[in-house]
Chains A and B, each alone.
Chain A
Amino acid sequence: MKSTLINPNIATIQTDTRFADQVYLLPVTPEYVESVVEKERPDGIMLAYGGQTALNCGVKLEEAGILQKYGIKVLGTQIPGIQKTEDRQLFKDSMGQCGVPVLKSKTVRNFDDAKKTAEELGYPVIIRVAYTLGGRGGGVAYNEIELHEIVERGLKASIVGQVLIEEYIGHWKQIEYEVMQDYDGNNIIVCNMENVLAMKVHTGDNIVVAPSQTLDNHEYHMLRSAALRATKHVGIVGECNIQYALEPNSDRYVAIEINPRLSRSSALASKATGYPLAYMSAKIGLGYNLSELVNRITKSTTACFEPSLDYIVCKHPRWDFSKFELVNRKLGPTMKSVGEVMAVGRTFEESFQKSIRMLDIGNDGLVLNRANGKSFDDEELENKLSHPDDKVLYYVAAALKAGFSVERINNLSAIDPWFIEKIKNIVLLEEKITKEDLGKSLLFEAKKLGFSDKQIARAKNKNPDDIRKLRKEYGIVPSVKQIDTLAAEWPAVTNYLYLTYGGNSHDIVINPEEKGIVVLGAGPYRIGSSVEFDWGTVNMVWGLQENGEKNISVVNCNPETVSTDYDICTRLYFEELTQERILDITEFENPKGVITCVGGQTANNLTLGLSKHGINIMGTSAQDVDRAEDRSKFSAELDKLHIQQPRWQAFSNLTEAKNFAQEVGFPVIVRPSYVLSGAAMKVVWSQDELKTYVKEATDVSPDHPVVISKFMLNSLEVDVDGISNGQEVIIGAIVEHIDSAGVHSGDAMMCIPPWRLNNKTIETITEYTTKIATTFNVKGPFNLQFLVHDNHVYVIELNIRASRSMPFVSKLVKINLISLASKAILGIPLPKITKNKWQKIQNYGIKVPQFSFMQLDGADIALGVEMQSTGEAACFGSSFYDALSKGLTSVGYNLPQTGAALVTVGGSQNKEKLLQSIATLKNLGFKIFATEHTAEFFEEKIGEIEVVHKISEPQRKPNISDLLYERKIDFIINIPSTSTLEKYVGMLDDEYQIRRKSLELGVPVLTTIELADSFVKTLDWLKNNKPTIDPIEPYDPID
């Protein structure tokens, strides 16, 4: 069977041609999908694997008659089935027909009706306001007085004068079931899950355990039967997820929704059980019956069974709120997390504390962290418990310490008392280890409750290594256990493993004759570290295997990755990426070495510590990695090579810092020298700002100085990705950022080949790259970042590891850099590769960031030095604009051929720069709206511009706000005054309002000159051209 994949996500391993016969890096929109269909003429289409995007696209293809036109069968759940779950009314009707209760609610237009409805439903009720975005204006009413206030406010806020009154179930348990069903109607439950933070918090932001812990047999099977009934009734084929709310004080329940597709929950369920839902679902879509499929773990039993677990899984979301200014950290019905981890253990406490460490946010568990011991007053705690944010469970611990009863915490937070009791066990043990002597049984108890050596060391004022030594003297070591889908009832042939202190024997033995290699993955997805490192990890495993290595172990803890598929490597450890755990694993495995260069910064940070504990680091040595990571050592090396850097210095007092800034001139970039993930970099424009910042930074980490470097305005940023074996250097490509320096490299649009660099600069960059890679004895992948200012080349940083842009470079240039890196690491000679192959590529490749501002209530969308994008797409084309048009469409920009644009530009220099673009827009027939000053400038040069007034002056018409609501604006060019960095001088609230409002209404906003310029040129190009539709080509074979 031949398969074709459409996905513009360049960085994912999915879009390696190894996984499908044809891969199209194209937007998943009905138009582009039709073009591919036209070309490939497939017999069937699968819609359930590409999230909501693919599902929506499929429904549109059906509605437009395209599936019928080309005679394409939907494989899996048919369109009417999808509609029965996606359309709220159809869903309610369907559930009614199969006897599954749903939530009662009613739409009302006045307070009297609201009151009547609330009385019928019973208080508390939740009021949802129709047609305002982000759920603003709604709320929970516990009595008539509150109802009155919220309903009146809501009716005013709603454009259509309606509010929805619904029974409030925030304190109900949130339970999910994953269901599989085949065309014959055989169906099974693969997994159920329970959300610790109840219904209050979106499941994506919830801490989730599998299996459910507080349900009894009756409740479990009541919901199970309902799930089977519901999926049979709507006609699911393949996999689906059903979400319930269950009353905590009775067995009353309602179905909230059904997802007729693979989801984040199904990825989690697959990893939590070892049952590969997507794989099985695809087979079922092709027509296999559940009983014909074989359990992938036992390879002998049937796939038509319900996995039994003999461990508890804990999923913890990862948030990156600190990257966003003005963002609201409260958790609620909108998902805000950017990634997640999954921990496996044999007590809740163990799983939960492991999950916290896996997040890589600098915490070693729930208690005994670096920043410990802050106390709160009761009122503050009550507030924090009833309005959860990302730290809610830490507040549960704090409340317990402050003497709150379990019942009181349960009343405030809606967290089931069972979970609070478990947290209490952790809190009590903290007290015990702090006070008592660390005897064998106490230490063992602490380990069983998931305490790390670091936490214990902190309690005892010791070094973690002392604890490790003591522990081993006592013989307290973790057991290696298998995840086998059948709780040990049948032998497992795959090695899907975790470590636990809840056991006294290992499930497997390692044959000392078969020493392996351990590859460290990248941990949770987060801003700045995402699918690209999964691509790197998987390609490294394959590369090692292709070069004759038989035993490869992977350590990772991210359930959303391919690197945590147990059939990718020989042994998969679903485990923490912490020094303690990696040492546990290496002591068990006794491997040839550990590879830390493909797991992003998380793995890279472990290099030095592991090396100091005698672990063989394969690839670039720990000392060389350290020389690159340590800014002073790095600078010294560059000086020796006579290679320039932007001027920088480290400071621990303000006077020196001020003097330096004065000397090099503002703006400067400041950052703490010791950066825990997420700690802020900032561009500083004045002495006052510098003073505030230095104070903040030294408050955060008093022992670590602040680094200040010159910020060069009007310069270009360039990334180089390459491979070296210490002697030879292979450059993957030189990648130019389209946005000017100052926009974080992860947020910038990137282009290969570079289009503004001259040959001389390219030569200099090539020369520097070779020199630096050999000087640092790089053995494996590396990434160099340069700044080009007035034709001078400066080095910003060297990362001796796989980088974010490597999949992009590899796929466009058709050199699999990680495959090459595996050779370099194993000491196998590098193959001969055409010199500067990247320059001989005919295609253009453009990478475009994907943002998720919509979900982050309050966040500003203007870009800066902190990375904010949560993903990316890249498309190839025969010209710059061919590639760019597809790239922009992929990340959600609508490219209109006619319509209206709103232009607000600060500063005359910016206006000047945009003049050509605005003129082009006018020529294309766009109507141009602009604010007063902007309009004045452009009108003078290019004629008629319509003046509109600021949101902050609502009485003045025409007003931007009205135009936005009336959908009279197709896109907005909003360049913050004087430079893109203006927001750091003092953000203008009005501009923020425009950006935020348009975002919520789905109107694209272009906030940099380069983006605006490219966007307009793309529109111009599209007038006379059509984007090309071509599959990508596989990597060139290397011998």
Chain B
Amino acid sequence: MSKHYSAFTLARHALQPDLPWERAWASPEPKKSYDVVIVGGGGHGLATAYYLARNHGIRNVAVIERNYIGSGNVGRNTTLIRSNYMIGGNTAFFEHSLKLWEGLSHELNFNCMVSQRGQIVLAANPVQMDVFARRGNIMRLNGIDAELLDCGDVMKLLPYLDYSKDARWPVCGAIMQPRAGTVRHDAVAWGYARAASDLGVDIIENCEVTGFVIDEGKVSGIETSRGRINAGKVGIAVAGHTSHVAKMAGLRLPVESHILQAFVTEPIKPIVHHVVSWGAELFYLSQSDKGGLVFGAHIDGFNTYTQRGQFPRIQTVAECAVSLMPFISRLRLLRHWGGIQDMTPDGSPFICRTDVRNLYLNGGWCYQGFKATPASGWTYAHTIAHDEEHELNRCFSLDRFAKGRELDEFGLGNWTYKQ
């Protein structure tokens, strides 16, 4: 049991720099058998383990991670949280996630640095404003905050945009979700790991899954680089590598792995006080606490597992940034990196049972994995504990394409990113 973090412990360690902070989570040897084994120690896997213990009293749980905690996509995203979704099946789920974010630091006794600075999505023409008005109305009917801003409002909030006549994309207005914002992503992984470990969950790092033990269509354990681990139930949460791992269990999925690049500039003084998004190329930008501008846009466009992006995409994203905010044209990029994400036909995820009994799937997160982390873990834990989907993730099933129940948030049909 790790010690409770508080202002008092912080002060004590500040006054006694030699006093070591104790490890935040235990590092046990894997047991022979668990009630539930979660494959993947990222944000979603750790959150699932935490909510299994916290909400459902299932504490004989192991999280198996190939690398170290926080080494995957939970540390490779751009840290945005929001719930500005429009269609049934998405709205309630992502709003539940945002509500869990709002209380997460207290819940986990770990400062996740949740910053609800607001997200502003810019419109470049009146038609886009009509679309935003419809989205905002639907959000408000679902109890989600949304505000429509005209050009004057936007000028007050974002005075640094290009409002000139020569602007490549004139700013017509925007839709804002004030409760959206950013979270420190590493802290989410560490916070969930520590809280889950405190509740008795075994977090096993540097342990790669090599196979599933399946008899007569029912899973009873996994093979790992550290031997066989028996399990009553197994949950997969390895988004990015979902197809790769699910294949070991004989599953073929509606998923392709694609690379999404992200960028950080050299640090500058605080100027961007919101998350600013833009329709063109799915561009979005925020400023980190260290001062760097963090931004990203569309995927590269062909399936790959290499975490290396292509140069033409870097140029396109930089062009987006500069056409929107000309003042950053002389800033240098400090870092850029790529994360591998599951892309699904309709752009929506899977949190569901599979054709193999007692084997569950969490994946297909497309662009939206990080913001979904708390609700994903919360609903996945329910799905595993009850062998049935929760009302919030009932639409995230694998058979929705066969049944004609796609969750097409963009409203553009299947495989939008291939069009």
Question: Is A bound to B?
Answer: no
A-to-B contact residues, CB < 8 Å: none
